[in-house]
Amino acid sequence: MKKHVLTALCCSLIMLNVTAVIAQSKVTGSVIDASNKEPLIGVAVYLEADNSIGTVTAYDGSFEITLSNGKHNLQFSYLGFVDQTRSLNVKGDTDLGVIKMESSSLGITEVSVVASFATDRKTPVAISNLPATVIEEKLGNQEFPEVLKSTPSVYATKGGGGFGDSRINIRGFNTSNIGVLINGIPVNDMENGRVYFSNWAGLSDVTSVMQVQRGLGASKLAISSVGGTMNIITKSADAEKGGSFYAGMGNDGYQKFSFNVSTGLMDNGWAITLLGGTVGGDGYINGTNFRGYNYFANITKVINDKHRLSLQAFGAPQWHNQRGNKHLISTFENQNSNLPFSNSAGYKFNSEYGIRDGKIYGGGYGYNFYHKPQVSLNHYWTIDNNTQLATSLYASISSGGGRRLRGDKATEVEYDRNNHKFNSMEWRTGDGLINWDKMIAHNASIGGQSDFVIGNAVNSHEWYGLLSTLNTKVDNINLTFGVDSRYYIGHHYEEVDDLLGGQFHIDNSNINRPINTPLRIGDKYSYNNDMQVLWNGLFAQGEMEFDRFTAFLSASASAQTVRRIDFFQYEVGNQKSDWVNFISWSIKGGANYNINDNHNVFANAGYFTRAPFVKFVFDGYTNELIDDPKYEKVLTFEAGYGYRSRNLNVKLGLYRTEWRDQGLTQSFQGQSFSLLGLSSLHQGVEFELTYKPTRELTLKAMASVGDWTYIDDVYFQEFDDAGNFIGEYNAYVKDVNVGNSAQTTAALGIDYRFFNSFKIGVDGNYYGSNFADFDPTNRTTIASSGVNAWQLPDVYLFDVNASYNFKINGLKSRIFGKVTNIFDTEYIADADDGVEHNWQTSPVYYGFGRTFSIGMKVNF
C-alpha cells in the first residue's frame, strides 16, 4: 500500500512540474530609439503587477523574459524616454518585435541634428556616449567633467579644489582646444577658448545625453576641437506631464535639493518645463565652502506639423572659496623647513583663506563668483519630408570674477612660489592662515589710505549669436549648410570691494584720472579694458549613406575681427585699437564601412587653420599689434575598428595630431606667461569594451596609451597680474611631455542588477605617464634642454555606486549612493614642474580622498 502511495505522490509531483514548465513561456523583442533607430541598452522591462519580475535590454536592444501563460501588462522604462505599457495574452513563446520608444523631451531629434550628434557604426569618428541614466548613477557629488574619467584619453581632476574648479583634458588638450557645445551652441570663451565649469555647475541636472567625440569630431562648426568635442544635449520641454524632487547629502556638509515640473504637451500645443535647485557645503579641502543655484526653463509651442518654437533659459549662479596656490609635497607632509608653522591639515591644507568675523574668508585667488545665464529662441521648420531648417538665436550676459588682495603691503601676505615660503609671516596666524583681523586693525590705526584692500578682478561679457542649419536629403546624400554668427564684448577690470577698515585706496594706473585720487568701493583700478570680437562662419557638409557604407566631407570658413579698447593706458579719443581681421578655414572627411552586422572600420582626416586667440594678437596688455601673428595649424588622422553583437561591443582606434604655431597662456599667482609658436605632436591608441554576459551583469573596460610631446623650443613673454611686462625669454621645451594629463589610462567597471530594483557598480581607474606642467621660467638656459618634466606617481582609484528603485504611494522613487576613492588613496592630481624637475621642487595639488553622497529622487 505504501508503495502505491509513494508512486502516486511521485507521479503527482512530476505532473505538477510538467504543468509549471508548460505554463511558462518566453517573451522576446528589441527596443530602439524611435528618432534614430539605434538600440537602447539597459531599458527596464518588467511586469506592471510585480516589478521584481523583469529584465533589461542587451547591447543590441534585445530582451527576453519568462512569464506565466495568461494576461499581463509589460512595462518598458528608460530615463529620458516615455514609458510604454504593452498588454499581452501569453499562450506560448511570444515575439513582440521592435518596440520604438519616444524621447520624453520634445524636439530632441532636431536638437541632435543641429548639434552634429554622431551615430555609432555610421559617423566615422571615435565617440563615447553617456546617457542621463549613467550620469545619474555615476556622478554623485563629483563635478560634471569627472563623470567622463573612464573614457579613453580623458583626464579630469578637481583643479583648484573649489566648487566648479574641475578641469578636463582629452588626448592631452585642455578646454581651450576642446569644443564644448550645449545643444549645438558653442560655449568656449571667445577670447581664450576656455570653459569654466563653475559657470555650468547645474548642467548635469538638465543633461539628456552627453557625447564625447575624440579628435576633430563630427561638428560642422569651425570650433576649437583639436582634442575633441563635448556635445551636451539638455532636456527640452517634457512630452509627459509630471515632475520630480531630489534631496541629497554628502561629506563635509554637502547638501543638494532640486525639483523638476512639466505640464507635458497640452492640447493647445504648449509645453512648459521648469527646473530649479540649490547646492552647498563646506568643501573637502580646508576653506573651500561654497553655495550654488541652478535654474532651467523651456517653453515650447507646437504651431503645426511643420513649425515649432522653443524658448529655453538656464544658468547657475555660484560663489566658492578655492585653493589659490600649489605647494611642495614637503609642505603637505609638514616637512618644509621654509615655513615657520606646523601644518596639521595634511593634503587638505589651503593657504589662501583666513577667519573673518568668525567665518571663512578667501584671500587673493581664493574666492570666485560668477553667473553666466544663456537664453535661446529656437525655431524648427520641417519644410518637407527631406528638408529641415533649424535656427537658434541666443544670448549670454555674464557677470563675476575673482578676489584679489591689493595695497602697498599686500605682497607681504603672498606666497613666493620660487622660494616656497611666504613673503612675511606678520600677517598670518600661527597655523599659516591669513590674519584678516590684524590687517583690519592695522588699516584702522593708520587712518586714510589702506595698506590692504580687497578687490575683484572682473571678467564679464555679453555674447549674442545666430546659428542656422539647413539639412536636405537628395537620394542617398544628406546635404547640410549653415551659418554661425557671433558678437562678443568682454569687460576686464579690477574694482575696489572692501577697504578692510581703511578709508580709501590709491592707484594711478588710469592716466585719465587725477593723480592720487582716493578710490572707494566700486571704483576701478589697475586696469580697465574691453575686447570686441565679431565672428561670421559658413559651413557645409555632404554625407553619402548606403546600406553598409557612409562617408562625409565637410568644410567651414570663418571671418574673425577683433578690437581692443583700453580706458586706462590711453587718452580719451585714442582708446580703441584698429580692427584686426583673420580668416580661418577647415576641411575634414571620413568614411565608415560596416563589413557585416558585427564588424565595422572607419577612418577620418582633417586639416584646419585657426586665428590666434586675441591675447596673441596684441603685444602684451596694450593696443599695439604683434607683428605678423601666426595662424595655428592642425593636421590630424584617425582610424578605428568596431565589433558589436548582442552582448559585446568593442572599439579600437589610433590617432595622430600635429599642432603647429599654437599660442599658450600659463598663469601662476602673480605671474602669467604668453608662449608663442609652440608646436606639439599627439598620437596614441584607444580601446573600449562593453560586455553583458547575462542580463544582470555589465562589464566595461577601456585603455589608452598616448605619446604627447612638444616638438620645438618656444619664445615667451612674462607679465605680472596687473599686465605689466617683465621680460621675454626662450624656453627649452623640445621633447618635453605635455603635462597634467595622464598619457596612459585604463578603467574597469562592473555593474550588477539584483531583483530588477537594486543596482550596484564598482569602477576602477588607473592613471600613468602623467607629467608635471612645464614652467617656462625653469627652462631658460641650455642646461634644461632635453630634460623632461617630473613624472607624477601612478595612481589607482576605485569608486562604488548603488541605486534602488521602489514606489512611495504609487510614485516611482529611487535612492542613489556614491563613494569615490573608497580606499582613501593619497595621490597627486596636478603639478607644476620644479626648478630641478623632481618631486622635491615641484608644487602640487593633491586629489581628494574618500568622499560620499546619498540622495533620493521621487517622480510624480
Per-residue model confidence as pLDDT tens digits over 468-510:
999 999 999 999 999 999 999 999 999 999 999 999 999 999 9
Same domain, 206 and 332: no
Confidence (pLDDT) at 224: 61
C-alpha cell at 180: 564644448
Residue 476: beta bridge partners?
Answer: none
| Last residue within a domain, chosen from 101, 133, 156 | 101
Q: Give the pLDDT mean for 10-16.
A: 43
Q: What is the CATH number of the domain that holds 474?
A: 2.40.170.20
Which phi and psi angles does 126 have, rounded to 5°? -85, 120
Residue 6 domain-assigned (yes or no):
no
How many angstroms separate the CA atoms of 185 and 226, rounded? 17
More confidently predicted of 202 and 781: 781
Largest CA distance in the chain: 122
Contact 827, 849 (CB under 8 A): no
Counting residues of the chain whose pLDDT is more than 90, the rounded percentage is 74
Which of these, 774, 781, 635, lies nearest to 709 by C-alpha position? 774
More confidently predicted of 391 and 132: 391
Q: Which amino acid is at 102?
A: E
pLDDT greater than 70 at residue 385:
yes
Ranges 195-204, 553-562, 667-676, 697-706: which has the least confidence: 667-676
Judged by DSSP in three states, 18 sits in helix
Residue 14 domain-assigned (yes or no):
no
Same domain, 684 and 662: yes
pLDDT greater than 90 at residue 721:
no
Residue 644 domain-assigned (yes or no):
yes
Under DSSP, the state recorded for 49 is S
| Last residue within a domain, chosen from 200, 234, 268 | 234
pLDDT per position as a tens digit, 108-118: 777 877 777 88
Contacts of residue 424, defined as CB under 8 A and 6 or more positions apart, other chains included, come to: 412, 413
How many angstroms separate the CA atoms of 435 and 417, rounded? 20
Confidence (pLDDT) at 720: 75
**What are the angstrom distances between the C-alpha of 725 and each of 106, 531, 622, 674, 687?**
53, 19, 10, 11, 46
Contacts of residue 71, defined as CB under 8 A and 6 or more positions apart, other chains included, come to: 87, 88, 89, 90
C-alpha cell at 720: 605680472
| Displacement of CA 325 from its chain's centroid (Å) | 23
Contacts of residue 693, defined as CB under 8 A and 6 or more positions apart, other chains included, come to: 647, 699
Residue keyed to cell 597655523: 431
Residue 11 domain-assigned (yes or no):
no
Which phi and psi angles does 221 have, rounded to 5°? -75, 160
Residue 19: band (very low, low, confident or very high) from pLDDT cuts 50, 70, 90: very low
Q: Outline where DSSP puts E strands in 22-157.
A: 24-33, 44-47, 54-56, 62-68, 70-77, 84-90, 94-101, 126-131, 154-157
Confidence (pLDDT) at 423: 93
Confidence (pLDDT) at 121: 84
Under DSSP, the state recorded for 21 is H
Q: Give the pLDDT mean for 540-561.
A: 95
Residue 608 domain-assigned (yes or no):
yes
Same domain, 464 and 606: yes
Judged by DSSP in three states, 7 sits in helix
Under DSSP, the state recorded for 773 is B
C-alpha cell at 481: 549648410
Q: Give the pLDDT mean for 257-263.
A: 95
Q: Give the pLDDT mean for 213-233.
A: 83
Residue 230: beta bridge partners?
Answer: 180, 212
H-assigned helices in 150-262: 203-206
Confidence (pLDDT) at 709: 97
Same domain, 754 and 801: yes
Residue 36: band (very low, low, confident or very high) from pLDDT cuts 50, 70, 90: confident
Instruction: List the end-to-end C-alpha distance of the chain, in Å, as a whole number.
Output: 63
Q: What is the CATH number of the domain that holds 29?
A: 2.60.40.10
Indicate the pTM of the whole model: 0.91
Residue 380 domain-assigned (yes or no):
yes
Under DSSP, the state recorded for 175 is G
Residue 668: band (very low, low, confident or very high) from pLDDT cuts 50, 70, 90: low
Same domain, 663 and 611: yes
Q: Which residues of 468-491 are buried (b: 16+ CB within 10 A; e: fewer)?
A: bbbbeeeeeebebbbebebbbbbb
Rg (C-alpha) for the chain, rounded Å, is 29
Q: What is the CATH number of the domain that holds 112?
A: 2.170.130.10
Confidence (pLDDT) at 480: 94
**Residue-range definition of the domain harbouring residue 826:** 242-859
Q: Give the pLDDT mean for 149-162.
A: 95
Same domain, 228 and 259: no
Same domain, 593 and 677: yes
Which of these, 190, 185, 288, lies nearest to 614 by C-alpha position? 190
How many angstroms separate the CA atoms of 817 and 855, rounded? 7
Same domain, 627 and 490: yes
Pairing of strands 421-422, 318-321: unpaired
pLDDT greater than 70 at residue 184:
yes
How many angstroms separate the CA atoms of 134 and 816, rounded? 12
C-alpha cell at 256: 543638494
Same domain, 247 and 193: no
Residue 89: beta bridge partners?
Answer: 71
Total domains present in the chain: 3
pLDDT greater than 60 at residue 535:
yes
pLDDT greater than 70 at residue 540:
yes
Sign of the alpha-carbon dihedral angle for 55, 57, 58, 62: positive
Pairing of strands 415-416, 421-422: antiparallel
Residue 333: band (very low, low, confident or very high) from pLDDT cuts 50, 70, 90: very high
**What are the angstrom distances between the C-alpha of 467 and each of 115, 225, 376, 536?**
10, 18, 10, 10
Same domain, 498 and 569: yes
Residue 694 domain-assigned (yes or no):
yes
Same domain, 299 and 366: yes
Confidence (pLDDT) at 222: 66
| Last residue within a domain, chosen from 215, 234, 253 | 234
| Displacement of CA 722 from its chain's centroid (Å) | 30
**Number of Cβ atoms within 10 Å of the Cβ of 179:** 26
Which of these, 377, 236, 382, lies nearest to 307 by C-alpha position? 382
Pairing of strands 697-710, 167-170: unpaired
pLDDT greater than 60 at residue 545:
yes
Contact 60, 42 (CB under 8 A): no
Pairing of strands 714-720, 725-731: antiparallel
| Displacement of CA 111 from its chain's centroid (Å) | 19
Which of these, 489, 488, 469, 487, lies nearest to 479 by C-alpha position? 469
Judged by DSSP in three states, 303 sits in coil
pLDDT per position as a tens digit, 769-798: 999 999 888 899 999 999 999 999 999 999
pLDDT greater than 90 at residue 839:
yes
Confidence (pLDDT) at 726: 80
Confidence (pLDDT) at 18: 42
pLDDT greater than 70 at residue 22:
no
Residue 421 domain-assigned (yes or no):
yes
Average model confidence (pLDDT) across the chain: 91
How many angstroms separate the CA atoms of 412 and 503, rounded? 21
Same domain, 544 and 493: yes
Contact 154, 741 (CB under 8 A): no
pLDDT greater than 50 at residue 526:
yes
Counting residues of the chain whose pLDDT is more than 70, the rounded percentage is 96
Pairing of strands 228-234, 178-182: parallel
Confidence (pLDDT) at 8: 45
Q: Which amino acid is at 310?
A: S
How many angstroms separate the CA atoms of 281 and 546, rounded? 54
Q: Which amino acid is at 81?
A: F
Residue 355: band (very low, low, confident or very high) from pLDDT cuts 50, 70, 90: very high
Confidence (pLDDT) at 670: 60
| Displacement of CA 278 from its chain's centroid (Å) | 19
Q: CB-based burial of residue 155 (10 Å sphere; 0-12 exposed, 13-18 middle, 19+ buried)?
A: buried
Type and span of the H or E element at 714: strand 714-720
pLDDT per position as a tens digit, 400-448: 999 999 999 999 999 988 888 999 999 999 889 999 999 999 999 998 9
